[in-house]
Amino acid sequence: MTHCILIGAPVDEGQRRPGCLMGPAAYRVAGLPRTLTDLGHTVEDRGDVVPAPGRGQTCANAAVHHLPETIAWTEALAAAASTAMPDGLPIFMGGDHSLSLGTVAGVASHADAAGRPLFVIWLDAHSDFHTVETTTSGNLHGTPMAYAAGRAGFDPFPPFPAPVPGENICMFGIRSVDPAEHAALAETEITVNDMRVLDEQGIVAPLRAFLDRVRAANGMLHVSLDVDFLDPSFAPAVGTTVPGGTTFREAHLVCELLHESGLMTSLDLVELNPFLDERGKTARAMVDLVGSLMGRKVFDRPTRAF
Ligand SMILES: NC(=[NH2+])NCCC[C@H](N)C(=O)O
Ligand SMILES: [Mn+2]
Ligand SMILES: [Mn+2]
């Protein structure tokens, strides 16, 4: 039994397709709280985070939009995350992926204070490894992984509290990487399990290899699940669809293995844009995946000893 803390993060400023701000409401309507209580967990809904007004920060990259608002979200969500961590498992209901600038910062400062290493698994079509200086779209939802890894180029932001070492980061499902991200990733120890790796090796071996490392280090594990990790055929409600995503079964297998590991300590659900959905099917698919992440299975089998 886990105490689940729902935190709404209606962030829309990190991209240009309005609608992600409706995400937290869609998760509630699609039955996220009930799914968790049916699995025997307790649920506390802390409502939606409200950021302070933006303070007018600027940067040299003219493409960047909504910088002050995104910094305000980052500060508010980092505070909400570090406050929630000692109380249970925070589940951040987004909101676009720029919300992870804040959630991972808050989780990282908690892990640092607890003296435990933080690991991050990034379930996404994109690497989100731009900085404020390198993004060409100017959409800051393309930057949170670089911020968490401690890349330079985030001057207007608060310094990231305890940068996550590249060895502790695993990207999964990747199939869209911009040239500047590619060059920067090549300089890191980050594991990039792109779709080619998953096509060749399947889900289980690469995921278990990472989870074994988290366990061996007694690490905390932040899971960041972007809707576009999923194939758009069953999860269309996202502004940045990329064909060739994980199938329904592959995505559930990822979630089942994460649950079996018992390692997840915080979760982001990001990029759901209910305005682009078809009768709530993507919201429901995401809620079902959280069910698998939190212990729903078809049959109980003895879990593999890690
Ligand atoms: N969280 C996301 N969906 N990110 C998509 C980023 C796409 C592209 N790399 C950009 O920077 O604009
Ligand atoms: Mn993303
Ligand atoms: Mn993405």
Written as one letter, the residue type at 4 is C
Residue 304 in tokens: 């593999």
Residue 123 in tokens: 């379930």
Atom 8 of ligand 1, residue of closest alpha carbon:
142
Q: Do the domain assignments include residue 304?
A: no
Residue 66 in tokens: 């909504």
- Residue 265 belongs to domain spanning: 3-293
Catalytic residues: 97, 124, 126, 128, 141, 226, 228, 271
Q: Do the domain assignments include residue 302?
A: no
Q: Do the domain assignments include residue 74?
A: yes
Residue 89 in tokens: 């498992």
Which helix or strand (DSSP H or E) is residue 21 part of? Answer: none
Shortest CA distance to 180 belongs to which of 220, 219, 135, 238?
A: 135
Q: Do the domain assignments include residue 301?
A: no
- Reading the chain (306 residues) residue by residue, the pLDDT tens digits are 999 999 999 999 999 999 999 999 999 999 999 999 999 999 999 999 999 999 999 999 999 999 999 999 999 999 999 999 999 999 999 999 999 999 999 999 999 999 999 999 999 999 999 999 999 999 999 999 999 999 999 999 999 999 999 999 999 999 999 999 999 999 999 999 999 999 999 999 999 999 999 999 999 999 999 999 999 999 999 999 999 999 999 999 999 999 999 999 999 999 999 999 999 999 999 999 999 999 998 777 766 655
Instruction: Tell me the pairing of strands 89-94 and 42-48.
Output: unpaired
Buried b (16+ CB within 10 A) or exposed e, 216-248: eeebbbbbbbbbbbbbbeebbbbbbbbeebbee
Q: Is there a binding annotation on residue 228? A: yes
Q: CA angle 137-141-146, nearest 5°?
A: 95
Q: How many domains does the chain have?
A: 1
Which helix or strand (DSSP H or E) is residue 76 part of? Answer: helix 67-84
Q: Do the domain assignments include residue 215?
A: yes
Question: From ligand 1's centre to the CA of 122, what distance in Å?
Answer: 13
User: CA–CA separation, 91 vs 103, rounded Å?
Assistant: 10
Helix (H, G, I), strand (E, B), or coil: what is residue 35?
Answer: helix
Q: Is there a binding annotation on residue 212? A: no
Shortest CA distance to 82 belongs to which of 123, 49, 131?
A: 49
Q: Write the CATH number for 27.
A: 3.40.800.10
Residue with tokens 């409600």: 237
Question: From ligand 2's centre to the CA of 99, what distance in Å?
Answer: 10
Atom 3 of ligand 1, residue of closest alpha carbon:
240
148 neighbors 127 (Cβ within 8 angstroms): no
Residues with CB under 5 A from ligand 2 (ion): 97, 124, 126, 128, 226
Question: From ligand 1's centre to the CA of 248, what distance in Å?
Answer: 22
User: CA–CA separation, 252 vs 248, rounded Å?
Assistant: 6
Q: Do the domain assignments include residue 45?
A: yes
Atom 7 of ligand 1, residue of closest alpha carbon:
142
